[in-house]
Structure 1
Amino acid sequence: MNFTRRILLASAAVAATLLAPAYASAADLIAIITPSHDNPFFKAEAEGAQKRAEELGYETLVLVHDDDPNKQNQLFDTAIARGAKAIILDNAGADATVAPVRRAKEAGIPSFLIDREIKETGIAVSQIVSNNYQGAQLGAEEFVRLMGEEGKYAELLGREADTNAGIRSAGYHDVIDQYPDLEMVAQQSANWSQTEAYEKMETILQANPEIKGVISGNDTMAMGAWAALKAAGRTDVIVVGFDGSNDVRDSILEGGIKATVLQPAYRQAQIAVEQADQYLRTGSTGQDEKQLMDCVLINSSNAGDLETFALN
């Protein structure tokens, strides 16, 4: 090969390197995939994971699946194509998530799940979730106390495909159903949505004007229910949520919604990143795959100490 040809080939190689997508050299990329950041809980997860990952020296790719399993599949393909070292995930459905997590594992990319479990073990490295059953029992006990152990109430459920929705409802009822004078007159899914919760609450209130309380599967739905109740002049109705959002904190401090249950979204996401880092460095997290974090009751006594899904 003559000298001129060697120079041309070398120049072409340099040019190809310079023109390659920036992510091609992102050897220490962590992908963070969550539901929509319109919900402050999921936004806190993403921010917590991103901040901790960058503190540990990783580049981050923050993606949103909008609770759409098909979009989640596409985002996994993106993370795999970009050569992510690990995936931090709050998933789009317990069943629908098994295949993409397995696909990532087969590509050599470990997944670290937060908030929502999947139904299969051995394909994700970690599944770090709030103890939803324990938290729901805390919320239900406070709800029973606030209701004076009697009266008609409604329950707003989360998305059917989300394991947490069922676990929280079971936790609520294992407490509330022990009180025969508490009567559930409506139970409807609002799919974790504030808008849907507003609409469902309007309908429930029209059919059951004597309602005394509402227990909600998350804070976003609790806020929607409370807005509908306020619009109807029914601020006497007791509302209890679940998550520990700043919005519900503010409502509690203003005398609106009565209580919620804090699940530590921000810290949970940070722990997932820390375990990913340890796993990438040592081949082990030192923890069981499934890990539970206890929840904390938030009411007027401690709401002032709550900030971004953490107690100060």
Structure 2
Amino acid sequence: MIERRTVLGMLGAATLVAGCSSRAGVGRGIIAIIMPPYDNPFFRAQAEASRDRAKALGYEPLMLVHDDDASKQSEMIDTAIARGAKAIILDNAGAAATVAAVRRAKAAGVPSFLIDRELNVRGVAISQIVSNNYQGAQIGAEAFVAAMAEKGPYAELVGREADTNATIRSEGFHAILDQYPDLKSVARQSANWSQTEAYAKMESMLQANPQIKGVICGNDTMAMGAWAALKAAGRTDVIVVGFDGSDDVKQSILSGGIRATVLQPCSRQARMAVDQADAYLRTGSTGQPEKQLVDCVLIVPSNAAKLSNFDMRA
């Protein structure tokens, strides 16, 4: 049986591709847009922003979903090369596992422009546009410390261990949290960016540590899973802080649930990547360094209403 997220990814890809049909085959060639599964709204927002910007610039978007599978991603990069793609926009399936495929595309004359997740080498992709995860984690941790009144036992839900972002965010959290001796880490587990896993991990952590006062999460999907488990246990007194800036967490913040999140403006980064691909294809240069960090924004009740689809409205 095909896994649920794969099915959702296929359906999401079909929906996004359907949106390209009016421009298909017209204009300046194909840009391949290769993303993780669309059942995560963060990745869907990136895909939509990339697609829309590519269409606006006259390209035909080729929408592909790698399901966080490096082997499948490699096949999709080969597909992009075979289809004659002018460029690849990629949120990759592993910092190390992706390098060979991106290098292969480069050798074939197809430049890659990465967003969200970086490679562990430079000089293979043309651009790597990522959120300043360390800075974002620090401002999220500062909000968490304030909500915790600088003391009490807390738990941490960490993202997928193979993802560089998971490590950077956890390090950023602890650069702040570890300065407060009265904050006590009592549990730390990976929930692989998954809401379902976060729910189960939160249940087990709460059973083992019923005194938990707060939970800091490496992304909003895990924060939503943790919050659902806490609500089911009657523990809405527990402070939860997330990371991403999803609309689901925005609604929770506005209704007095999750305390805060950190917006990484993925839609803007996706548009930046397409703009830089276009500039590179036209002029041979993006005018920017390869590695580009985009600062994150703390989202709390006072500014949450301005958040929409991983962007801040003016």
- TM (norm. structure 2) is 0.91
- Hey, what does 1:208 align to over in structure 2? 209
CA distance, structure 1, for counterparts of residue 50 and residue 271 of structure 2: 5
The secondary structure found in structure 1 opposite 2:311 is: coil
Q: Does 1:139 align with 2:140?
A: yes
Displacement after TM superposition at 1:26 (Å): 8.2
- Hey, what does 2:58 align to over in structure 1? 57
Is the 1:24–1:82 contact (alpha carbons within 8 Å) kept by the matching residues of 2?
no
Q: Which amino acid aligns with 1:309?
A: F
Is the 2:26–2:59 contact (alpha carbons within 8 Å) kept by the matching residues of 1?
no
CA distance, structure 2, for counterparts of residue 288 and residue 301 of structure 1: 35
Is the 1:30–1:84 contact (alpha carbons within 8 Å) kept by the matching residues of 2?
yes
Displacement after TM superposition at 1:27 (Å): 5.9
Q: Which amino acid aligns with 2:278?
A: D
- Hey, what does 1:35 align to over in structure 2? 36
CA distance, structure 2, for counterparts of residue 187 and residue 302 of structure 1: 30
The secondary structure found in structure 2 opposite 1:112 is: strand
The secondary structure found in structure 2 opposite 1:99 is: helix
CA distance, structure 1, for counterparts of residue 170 and residue 274 of structure 2: 29
- Hey, what does 2:234 align to over in structure 1? 233
- Hey, what does 2:288 align to over in structure 1? 287
The secondary structure found in structure 1 opposite 2:138 is: helix
CA distance, structure 2, for counterparts of residue 51 and residue 242 of structure 1: 25
- Hey, what does 1:67 align to over in structure 2? 68
- Hey, what does 1:117 align to over in structure 2? 118
- Hey, what does 2:251 align to over in structure 1? 250
- Hey, what does 1:9 align to over in structure 2? none
CA distance, structure 2, for counterparts of residue 56 and residue 265 of structure 1: 19
Is the 1:27–1:84 contact (alpha carbons within 8 Å) kept by the matching residues of 2?
no
| Change over 3 Å in CA distance of 1:144–1:109 after alignment to 2 | same
CA distance, structure 2, for counterparts of residue 242 and residue 185 of structure 1: 20
The secondary structure found in structure 2 opposite 1:67 is: coil
The secondary structure found in structure 2 opposite 1:149 is: coil
| Change over 3 Å in CA distance of 1:308–1:118 after alignment to 2 | same
The secondary structure found in structure 2 opposite 1:124 is: coil
Is the 1:244–1:263 contact (alpha carbons within 8 Å) kept by the matching residues of 2?
yes
Displacement after TM superposition at 1:40 (Å): 0.5
Structure 1 segment 67-86 matched on structure 2, within 5 A? 67-86=68-87
Q: Does 1:104 align with 2:105?
A: yes
CA distance, structure 2, for counterparts of residue 162 and residue 133 of structure 1: 14
CA distance, structure 2, for counterparts of residue 188 and residue 58 of structure 1: 42
- Hey, what does 2:14 align to over in structure 1? none
Q: Which amino acid aligns with 2:307?
A: L
CA distance, structure 2, for counterparts of residue 123 and residue 179 of structure 1: 41
CA distance, structure 2, for counterparts of residue 305 and residue 27 of structure 1: 35
Question: Which digits, 9 at most, give the CA deviation of each residue in 1:124-164, with x for residues without a partner?
Answer: 00000000000000000000000000000000000011000
CA distance, structure 1, for counterparts of residue 156 and residue 67 of structure 2: 24
Q: Does 1:90 align with 2:91?
A: yes
Runs of at least 5 residues in structure 1 that lack an aligned partner in the other structure:
1-22
| Change over 3 Å in CA distance of 1:58–1:231 after alignment to 2 | same
The secondary structure found in structure 2 opposite 1:184 is: strand
Is the 1:244–1:261 contact (alpha carbons within 8 Å) kept by the matching residues of 2?
yes
Q: Does 1:192 align with 2:193?
A: yes
CA distance, structure 2, for counterparts of residue 70 and residue 215 of structure 1: 32
Displacement after TM superposition at 1:47 (Å): 0.3
CA distance, structure 2, for counterparts of residue 63 and residue 235 of structure 1: 39
Task: Please give the root-mean-square deviation of Cα atoms over the aligned residues, in Å.
Answer: 1.3
Is the 1:158–1:189 contact (alpha carbons within 8 Å) kept by the matching residues of 2?
yes
Among all aligned residue pairs of Structure 1 and Structure 2, give the percentage whose two residues are the same amino acid: 72
CA distance, structure 2, for counterparts of residue 185 and residue 70 of structure 1: 37
Runs of at least 5 residues in structure 2 that lack an aligned partner in the other structure:
1-23
